[in-house]
Amino acid sequence: MTEKYNVEVDRTKKWFIATVGGFFQMSDAEGFALKFMQEGSTIQASEYTLVVDASGLATVKQDLLDMLEQAFQMYMTLGFKKIYMVESKSAITSIQIRKIAEKTNFSGELVKSLDEVK
């Protein structure tokens, strides 16, 4: 993935797919949030499964952890039918994701790969 993020809608599977990767900076996080909300406004969230693919995400710097926590909370309030978070291939990043999921009482499911998304 050359871009650090992408958001797409699979109308056949009824998946709303947000992909993040690389070393995120604050500007990347802000751009992602804007694109996420723009694309999200084109669907009825309650009919879709949110798939956040963070498999390519590198270690998140401390200043972005708060923003990641806010993203988790936002995902849960948007009313998606189901939420899947694909954990990073980086062990450290996966630990960060699991800690934020625990801290936010994440209602989605953490999975190791897209193959586990139903």
pLDDT in tens, 58-84: 988 888 898 899 999 999 999 999 999
- Considering the domain boundaries, does residue 118 fall inside one? no
* Residue 22 forms part of a structural domain: yes
Question: How many domains does the chain fold into?
Answer: 1
- pTM here? 0.93
What does the pLDDT read at residue 2?
A: 54
Could you give the CA distance from residue 37 to residue 80 in angstroms, rounded to a whole number? 13
61: domain CATH number is 3.30.750.24
Calpha distance 60→118 (Å, rounded): 27
Quick check: is 77 in a domain?
Answer: yes
Domain of residue 75 covers: 5-113
Q: pLDDT tens for residues 13-54?
A: 999 999 999 998 889 999 999 999 999 999 999 999 999 999
Q: In what order do the strands lie in the sheet with 15-22?
A: 5-10, 15-22, 49-57, 82-86, 109-111
In a domain, 86, yes or no: yes
Residue 1 has pLDDT above 90, yes or no: no
Report pLDDT for 3.
Answer: 78
